Each structure stands twice: as C-alpha cells, then as structure tokens.
Amino acid sequence: MSKKQPFDRRAFFRTAAAVAAVAGAISLPSLAFAQDAKIKIGLMLPYTGTYAQLGVAITNGFKMALEEAGGKFGGREVEYFTVDDESNPSKATDNANALVTRDKVDVLVGTVHSGVVMGMVKIARESGTPLIIPNAGAGAATGAQCAPNIFRTSFTNWQPAYPMGKVLADRGIKKAVTLTWKYGAGIEAIEGFKEGFTKAGGTVVKELFLPFPSVEFQPLLTEIASIKPDAVFVFFAGGGGVKLMKDWQAAGLKGKIGLYGSGFLTDGVLDAAGDAAEGIETTLHYGDGIETPKNKTFRLNYAKEFKLQPDVYAVQGYDAGLLLIAGLKAVKGDVSKQKEFLAAMAKAKIDSPRGAWTMSKAHNPIQDVYLRKVVGKENKVMGVAQKALADPARGCKM
C-alpha cells in the first residue's frame, strides 16, 4: 500500500515559476522551500508470500544505513513510499509506475524477485528514475537492459552459482542433477552452475524444475533417488528452501547424496530449517562470521535494533542505503543534478559487511564469492571460492 503525498512538487514549481515571472525575479524563499522538500524513496519489495522475510530484511538494512548517516542529506529528510509487490511479475510495471507517476519518487529501490524487477527496469528506463536493486539477480538488469540510471547492490543469478561448479568438479564430482523453480532466477542460477561445472570437467545429467512458488518436491526427490547422482545443485530461497531441506532429510537423501546450492538456500532460514540444514555447503557473497570490524559492528547494531540476526538480504539492503548516500552526498541532497548523482554512485566504493566492493561498468558488484557450510545456526565461511568475481554482463552496451 502506498502513502498519499500531500505536496505535489511539480505543481509547486509550476506555481513558483509563474509567481516569479509576474514579480520579474526568482524568489529566494521558494528556492529555500524546495531544498526543504523531502527526498522521496519508493520501496517496492515483497512483504507477503514466500519472499516476505527477504523484503523485510532488505527494508531494515536500507533504513538502518540511512539512519546511521543521520537521515538528512543537504538538509533534506527522506520520505518512504512503500509497496508490497507480492513477488508478482504481472503487477510489477503498474506498481513501479504508480510510485513514479503518482507518488513522484526521486529514487526507486527494489526488489527481490527477478521477474518483478524487470517491470521496475522497464519503468526506470522509460522515466529515467534512478533504480537501485537490492536483491533480484536477473542478468538482463545489468546485461542487455543495463542503463546509466540502473544499479544493483546484490549479485546476478549467475554470480554466486558459477563458482560452485569448479568447487565440486575439483573434488572429483562428475555427475550432477539440478533442481529449481522454473523462473528467471532459478534458470539463470542453474546456467551459471552448469557453466562452471562443465568447464571444470563435470556433467549435468538431468535438470529438474517446478513452478514458482510450488513446494511439491516429493516426486522430484523420488526421481533424484533413482538417478543417484554424485551431487544435486539447487536454487531456492526463503520458505521454499526450508521446505526443500526438510523434505530432503525426510526422504532419506541427507548424507547419501550431496545437496549444494547458491547460498540463498540456507541464508536467513537456519532457525526454521533446524538440523535439516546442518552440513549443507553453498556459495554466496556473504557469510555470517566474516571477521571484519565492519561486519561485527553491522551485525551487532542490526541485532540490537531489530532483535533479529542479519542475513545476506539485510546486507544488500544496507549496501543499497550506502550507495544512495554516496550519490546524495555528492549532490548535497539535490537529486535533480542527476548526472553528478549517478556518476557518484557509479564510482562509489562500498564499505560493506560482506567486504569492500565496487561497481562494474554495468553497475553490478565486483565481489568475492565465499564457500560456506552450515554449522549449527551459522553459514560459516570456509574460504573464498572465487575472488573479485564480476558478472560477464552479456549484452550490456554502456
């Protein structure tokens, strides 16, 4: 649901210009008032459905970063316009368009689901509104559809999956099955894994799918048991990931066939998954126990403020806040200086809890991907699977 905004900025400027024309001079008080106007941020994220918890963590992290910076930029406060996108691609362009044309937000921030983010990308490209993507990994957003006003603080779906291919092949694993929801994120993650695995000598013998957000895993687990692969690589997240790990254990596959994934499988869900998650290895650009002062402080502050442990989604939201702050500081809160605003974000060095990172030319993080293992209630970092990994940004002409 979106809050109504009583102050129409464009109407104000139209009236102010007319008054100035009559008076024969630009009025100083109107400029001062314009500077006092709030910076409008459109948060479009899932707050219901299987990705609801992810949307909340991103929102928490984002707001925390802005609060830590004092909440004011060039004297301007921020105002949030919040939409629950329900992870529903069919409502995505309408939702994003309402934030831009009705609420007149200065910046769009969102979302989690790859299909939904492509609706946001369309509106951002058409309207020129800056868009910061704090999760959704759709390759096209920083690939064929890349644009000067589109930035991502998370990953491409390819990015955390690709390194796991080499990790497994280097262990002598030859034959793998893949399993995912059949939508952009899952398909691209599997492609990434397959690319890394086959390049290193492995073979994907079967690709299994189910529709998003179905959790009817049973028939697929029966099929996997009959194939007897050396390993299964999956993409799932949120509640769907928890159900898969529990069903995997209940089907007697745990300890018999190795279950691996991009780290969304186990991130933010370890309490819910219980011992079904124990020992599962994944690759991701974050891990709970990264031993840096930045990560320790972030985790402490987040836990204090929200009475929750942070996860990768909270980190990506926090980094989206840090990126926006870098842009706002460069223009002293005046987002109408769009060229300088975007340039500052493009060259920002983000001092993230995951480790410092910079933007690729296509505006996607260049970042380390960690190998992690679930030990108790932690996604423990076992090492770096691939250092400073940049997405290939196929099709980006920028």
- Residue nearer to ligand BEZ on the CB measure, 184 or 196: 184
Of residues 174-203, those binding ligand BEZ (CB under 6 A): 185
- Per-residue contact flags (x/-) with ligand BEZ for residues 64 to 103, judged by CB under 6 A: ----------------------------------------
Q: Are 78 and 39 in contact (CB under 8 A)?
A: yes
The yes or no reply on residue 233 touching ligand BEZ (CB under 6 A) is no
Among 264, 298, 318, 341, binds ligand BEZ (CB under 6 A): 264
The residue of the chain with the least Cβ separation from ligand BEZ equals 185
Contact stretch for ligand BEZ (CB under 6 A) within 39-47, 131-139, 328-336, 347-355: 131-139
The yes or no reply on residue 114 touching ligand BEZ (CB under 6 A) is yes
- In the block, tokens 């996860």 appear at 311
- Shortest CA distance to 261 belongs to which of 229, 292, 232? 232
How long, in residues, is the chain? 398
CB of 389 to ligand BEZ, least distance (A): 16
Among 55, 119, 137, 263, binds ligand BEZ (CB under 6 A): 137
CB of 137 to ligand BEZ, least distance (A): 4
- Residue nearer to ligand BEZ on the CB measure, 76 or 243: 243
Among 113, 166, 299, 354, binds ligand BEZ (CB under 6 A): 113
- Residue nearer to ligand BEZ on the CB measure, 78 or 117: 117
| Cα–Cα distance for residue pair 308/198, rounded to 1 Å | 39
Contact stretch for ligand BEZ (CB under 6 A) within 10-18, 107-115, 318-326, 354-362: 107-115
CB of 45 to ligand BEZ, least distance (A): 11
Contact stretch for ligand BEZ (CB under 6 A) within 112-120, 277-285, 350-358, 382-390: 112-120
CB of 323 to ligand BEZ, least distance (A): 18
CA–CA–CA angle 393, 395, 398 (5° rounding): 80
The yes or no reply on residue 112 touching ligand BEZ (CB under 6 A) is yes
The yes or no reply on residue 364 touching ligand BEZ (CB under 6 A) is no
Q: Tell me the three-class secondary structure of the chain, residue by residue.
A: CCCCCCCCHHHHHHHHHHHHHHHCCCCHHHHHHHHHCCEEEEEEECCCCCCHHHHHHHHHHHHHHHHHCCCEECCEEEEEEEEECCCCHHHHHHHHHHHHHHCCCCEEECCCCHHHHHHHHHHHHHHCCCEEECCCCCHHHHCCCCCCCEEECCCCCHHHHHHHHHHHHHCCCCEEEEEEECCHHHHHHHHHHHHHHHHCCCEEEEEEEECCCCCCCHHHHHHHHHHCCCEEEEECCHHHHHHHHHHHHHCCCCCCCEEEEEHHHCCCCHHHHHHHCCCCEEEECCCCCCCCHHHHHHHHHHHHHHCCCCCHHHHHHHHHHHHHHHHHHHCCCCCCCHHHHHHHHHCCEECCCCCCEEECCCCCEEEEEEEEEEECCEEEEEEEEEEEECCCCCCCCC
The yes or no reply on residue 354 touching ligand BEZ (CB under 6 A) is no
CB of 298 to ligand BEZ, least distance (A): 20
Contact stretch for ligand BEZ (CB under 6 A) within 37-45, 106-114, 141-149, 318-326: 106-114
Q: How many residues bind ligand BEZ (CB under 6 A)?
A: 11
CB atoms closer than 10 angstroms to residue 1 = 7
Contact stretch for ligand BEZ (CB under 6 A) within 132-140, 224-232, 303-311, 337-345: 132-140
- Per-residue contact flags (x/-) with ligand BEZ for residues 138 to 177, judged by CB under 6 A: x------------------x--------------------
Among 108, 120, 132, 237, binds ligand BEZ (CB under 6 A): 237
| Cα–Cα distance for residue pair 372/286, rounded to 1 Å | 9
Binding residues vs ligand BEZ (CB under 6 A): 112-114, 135-138, 157, 185, 237, 264
